[in-house]
Structure 1
Amino acid sequence: MEIRASTVLPADREQITLHTADGLSLVGELALPQGRPPVATMVCLHPLPTHGGMMDSHVFRKASYRLPALADLAVLRFNTRGTSSERGTSEGAFEEGEGERHDVAAALEYAEFHDLPRIWLVGWSFGTELALRWGRDPAIEGAILLSPPLHRAGDDDLRAWAEFGKPLIALVPEFDDYLRPAEARERFALVPHAELVAVEGAKHLWVGEPAVRVVLNEIVKRLNPAAYPLETTYAQPV
């Protein structure tokens, strides 16, 4: 079977609820490989909810549809406070990335409590700012940033990540609306160990199947190199 934009591969999918330290319940989903343990975990931090970002934003939805089967990854998605999707609406209201620190902590706490292995944060746009600001937790192995605007997260956060020392990979589209590769190289120089991947032809929203495949392959390259590059076809196990 050829893997297309709408392909949904087998996984064990569970609707989950995260509980924040300030008393909110957040809706989410955990997708796991069927019949075998995951080798690593991606915790997805979605784009700006006031501009349509949510746990079902297409790159993260496709990650949950494909990566448990193709790369043995656990994919944890959730709506930050006040955010709605088909799964439902998380309690609370958007707090400009401040109160959302509790949302990030709740997701990491859930992953730790359920013994999910090798936790990576994967943030997209607004989600990259949550990762940089609030994701410096000993529980994570590193973070992958998709289209980082470096707006709410700034130089102080980059310096703090440099001190934190965990891997940091930034995927920067050639035609990004907010931060393009040349400027990104200057900004991320504050994190000497950061890896910047400039993606030719891509835009901020990673529209189109070729762009999605680049993103998912870059994620898998770090979380489970044995599954890289991803297969473009899938044979149902007998």
Structure 2
Amino acid sequence: MEIRAATVLPARREPIELHTADGLTLVGELALPPERPPAATLICLHPLPTHGGMMDSHVYKKAANRLPALADLAVLRFNTRGTGSERGTSQGAFDGGEGERFDVAAALEYAEFHDLPNVWLIGWSFGTELVLKWGHDPLVRGAVLLSPPLHRAGDADLDAWAAFGRPLTALVPEFDDYLQPPQARTRFARVPQAEVVGVDDAKHLWVGEPYVRIVLDEIVRRVNPAAYPLPTEVADS
């Protein structure tokens, strides 16, 4: 069976709640491999909620639908403060990336309390700014950034990640609306351990199955290389 955009592979899926230090409850989902413990964990930070970003933004939903089965990964998705999706709406209100520091911390605390291994942060657009500003936690093994705008996160945040020392990969679409590969390589040069991967013909929202596959493959290559490359077909159940 070919893996298509709507394919949902087996996983142990459960609704979760995260509790922030400033008293909010955030809604989310944890998807675990169907039969084995996870080899690593992805904490997904979604695009800008004021422009439709949420835990179900399509790349993240497809990651949760595929990667537990194909790559033995745990996928933790959640709605940041004030953000709603089919799962529900998280308490609080959008705070432009500042109050969201507590949301990132709550997700990391959940992963630590539940013994989720080898935690990687995955940020997309606005989510990349949360990674760079608030992701410096000893639990974090590294991060992958999708379409980083480097708007709210600036040079000081890049310098802080450089000092943090964890691996950082930026997947940058050729035709991104905010930051394209040549400019991204210049900006991320401040981070010695950063790798910028330009993706030909892609756009900011990674629309289209070929681009989703590139994103998921590049994540898996760094987080659980034993599962790379991902298959494009699976046996019929």
Fold similarity call, TM over 0.5: yes
Please name the residue that 2:190 is paired with.
190
Name the CA distance, whole Å, in 2 between partners of 1:148 and 1:121. Answer: 13
Structure 1: 4+ residue segments shifted above 6 A: none
1:224 alignment partner AA: N
- Alignment map for 1:155-234 (pairs within 5 Å): 155-234=155-234
Please name the residue that 1:82 is paired with.
82
3-state SS in 2 of match to 1:22 = coil
2:152 alignment partner AA: R
Kindly provide the CA deviation profile for residues 94-125 of structure 1, in whole angstroms up to 9, marking residues without a partner as x. Answer: 00000000000000000010000000000000
Unaligned stretches of 5+ in structure 1?
none
3-state SS in 2 of match to 1:202 = coil
2:144 alignment partner AA: I
1:5 alignment partner AA: A
3-state SS in 2 of match to 1:175 = coil
3-state SS in 1 of match to 2:35 = coil
Shift of 1:208: 0.1
1:79 alignment partner AA: N
Please name the residue that 2:103 is paired with.
103
- Alignment map for 1:21-40 (pairs within 5 Å): 21-40=21-40
3-state SS in 1 of match to 2:142 = strand
3-state SS in 1 of match to 2:205 = coil
Shift of 1:235: 1.8
Kindly provide the CA deviation profile for residues 170-209 of structure 1, in whole angstroms up to 9, marking residues without a partner as x. Answer: 0000000000000001100000110110000100000000
Identity %: 77
TM-score of the superposed pair, with normalisation by structure 1: 0.99
3-state SS in 2 of match to 1:185 = helix
2:4 alignment partner AA: R
3-state SS in 2 of match to 1:128 = helix
3-state SS in 1 of match to 2:191 = coil
Shift of 1:236: 5.4
Unaligned stretches of 5+ in structure 2?
none
Kindly provide the CA deviation profile for residues 54-94 of structure 1, in whole angstroms up to 9, marking residues without a partner as x. Answer: 00000000000000000000000000000000000000000
Name the CA distance, whole Å, in 2 between partners of 1:236 and 1:156. Answer: 50
Name the CA distance, whole Å, in 1 between partners of 2:94 and 2:126. Answer: 12
Q: Could you say what the CA RMSD is over the residues aligned between the two structures, in angstroms?
A: 0.7
TM-score of the superposed pair, with normalisation by structure 2: 0.99
Paired positions, count: 237
Please name the residue that 2:7 is paired with.
7
Shift of 1:35: 1.4
